[in-house]
């Protein structure tokens, strides 16, 4: 049996990946890993009845503590709001409203993915929903108008990940619950980094468009101010929903959970107003919401159990002390952890990455002097990268299914936006005030 926490942590990681590679559900893999940790710890093996009792008690208490959170109620609400918007015509109005305003910008409608994803992310919370909804509207339209297929796909892949960074965000809710960080502060903290990333994508598109005119059609569409202001009517539904949901949180009128419920109600009203609120849409949206929520909750419960086991066996403390003993500078530590997350992103989805690593990584980060709020935004960036990192980059498969292109072409188109994301992560790390600026001024 094993008593050394460092060796035990290596054993648990090995078993965790063994379970994951065997195609067992992620939640089950986390539960099994925790049980293995309890069984191999020499001080708690005999007698058999005793260890079964301890595992049972820890399992019950950890599941209750990890899921008994009012903040988690926001999760299904934000998912449902995004599903209703996805299945109604409101998302189509987003494209029509943006076209006149982007026609005179260098790169023209190549910015449509960045703008549409930024707006839709502010009412969705899911990267997959943002990518799928915007992609179904824009890709075919850009292709028919003669725009660069590569830039269209790459900008969609990069901008689609904004669904996690621009609030509301499912990942931020999960992180806030697990790390005991204010979800409202996390939401506010994600605004400037999200806008910075979106702006960087647009700047890159402008530069490419100025250097290579072939990425745009030769014929330029001209829109007058009357048409531009008329197009604002098309943007009004999304903009009003953003104001209601995000404004109620930042104005202190509602908690994230209450704002999520309000968002669902308003999205239903909009669907009724535009005559898209059918029984089929309600059924599909509710079923998709239930499936996604149950999947995430099961993973969170497994992560809660594993987290308690890690603490019970002293693994988190031992690993933290070991890394601190290496004498790494804070920035070198962040680089090492960032590389670790990039590698994990090649094998795991974002939610699993967060819940599996947080029990060990968060104590190390806080011990090194980093703020848990800042690390939440850093972790969201890592999750975004996982969305466009092969071979398990979910956004890549969404885009491939929408566009019908080979995955190799999608990867090549996405690579410049992947590099831009790394650069923005470096900027946010060197200048953490970008994360703290809004919460320090909006929440006293």
pTM, two decimals, is: 0.74
Cα separation, 337 vs 366, whole angstroms: 13
Please state the domain extents for the chain.
Answer: 5-69+293-442, 73-287
Largest CA distance in the chain: 81
The mean-pLDDT minimum among 77-86, 163-172, 235-244, 330-339 falls in: 77-86
* 113-147 confidence digits (pLDDT tens): 898 888 877 776 667 777 877 887 788 888 888 88
pLDDT at 243: 85
pLDDT at 421 over 90: yes
In this predicted structure, what is the pLDDT of residue 5?
67
201 against 255, higher pLDDT: 201
Highest mean pLDDT among 1-15, 96-110, 189-203, 214-228: 189-203
Query: Which pLDDT does position 44 carry in this prediction?
Result: 46
Side-chain-side CA neighbours of 359 within 13 Å: the count stands at 25
Query: What 8-state DSSP symbol labels residue 180?
Result: T
Question: pLDDT tens digit string along 333-353?
Answer: 899 888 888 877 776 667 777
Q: Which residues contact 195 (CB under 8 A, 6 or more apart)?
A: 118, 166
pLDDT at 41: 67
pLDDT score, position 373: 95
CA 197 to CA 148: how far, in whole Å? Answer: 21
Are the C-beta atoms of 396 and 157 separated by less than 8 Å?
yes
Question: What is the per-residue pLDDT across 2-24, written as a single tens digit (0 to 9) for each?
Answer: 556 667 777 877 887 788 677 77
pLDDT of residue 252: 75
3 state SS of 273? helix
| Token digits of residue 152 | 């269209």
286 has pLDDT over 60: yes
Spatial separation of the C-alpha atoms in residues 433 and 438, rounded to whole Å? 9
């Amino acid at each position: 049996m094993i008593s050394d926490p460092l060796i035990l942590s290596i054993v648990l990681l090995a078993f965790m990946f063994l379970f994951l590679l065997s195609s067992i559900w992620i939640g089950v893999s986390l539960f099994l890993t925790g049980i293995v940790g309890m069984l191999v710890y020499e001080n708690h093996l005999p007698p058999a009845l005793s260890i079964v009792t301890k595992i049972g008690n820890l399992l019950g208490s950890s599941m209750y503590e990890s899921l008994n959170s009012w903040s988690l109620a926001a999760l299904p609400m934000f998912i449902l709001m995004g599903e209703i918007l996805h299945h109604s015509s409101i998302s189509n109005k987003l494209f029509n409203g943006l076209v006149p305003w982007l026609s005179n910008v260098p790169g023209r409608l190549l910015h449509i993915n960045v703008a549409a994803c930024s707006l839709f992310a502010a009412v969705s919370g899911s990267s997959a929903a943002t990518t799928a909804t915007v992609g179904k509207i824009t890709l075919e339209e850009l292709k028919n108008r003669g725009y660069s297929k590569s830039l269209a796909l790459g900008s969609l892949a990069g901008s689609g990940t904004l669904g996690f960074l621009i609030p509301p965000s499912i990942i931020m809710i999960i992180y806030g619950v697990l790390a005991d960080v204010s979800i409202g502060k996390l939401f506010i903290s994600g605004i400037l980094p999200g806008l910075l990333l979106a702006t960087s994508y647009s700047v890159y598109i402008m530069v490419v468009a100025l250097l290579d005119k072939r990425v745009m059609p030769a014929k330029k569409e001209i829109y007058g101010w009357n048409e531009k202001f008329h197009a604002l009517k098309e943007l009004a539904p999304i903009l009003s929903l953003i104001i209601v949901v995000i404004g109620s949180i930042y104005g202190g009128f509602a908690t994230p959970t209450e704002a999520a419920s309000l968002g669902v109600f308003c999205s239903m009203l909009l669907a009724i107003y535009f005559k898209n609120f059918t029984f089929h849409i309600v059924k599909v949206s509710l079923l998709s919401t239930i499936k996604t929520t149950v999947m995430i909750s099961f993973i969170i419960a497994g992560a809660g159990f594993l987290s308690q086991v890690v603490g019970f066996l002293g693994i988190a403390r031992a690993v933290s002390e070991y890394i601190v003993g290496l004498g790494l500078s804070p920035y070198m530590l962040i680089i090492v952890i960032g590389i670790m997350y990039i590698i994990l992103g090649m094998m795991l989805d974002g939610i699993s990455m967060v819940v599996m690593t947080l029990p060990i990584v968060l104590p190390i980060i806080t011990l090194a002097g980093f703020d848990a709020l800042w690390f939440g935004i850093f972790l969201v960036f890592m999750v975004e990268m996982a969305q466009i990192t092969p071979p398990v980059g979910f956004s890549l498969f969404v885009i491939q299914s929408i566009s019908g292109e080979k995955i190799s072409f999608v990867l090549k188109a996405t690579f410049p936006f992947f590099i831009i994301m790394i650069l923005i992560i470096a900027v946010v790390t060197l200048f953490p005030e970008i994360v703290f600026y809004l919460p320090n001024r909006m929440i006293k």
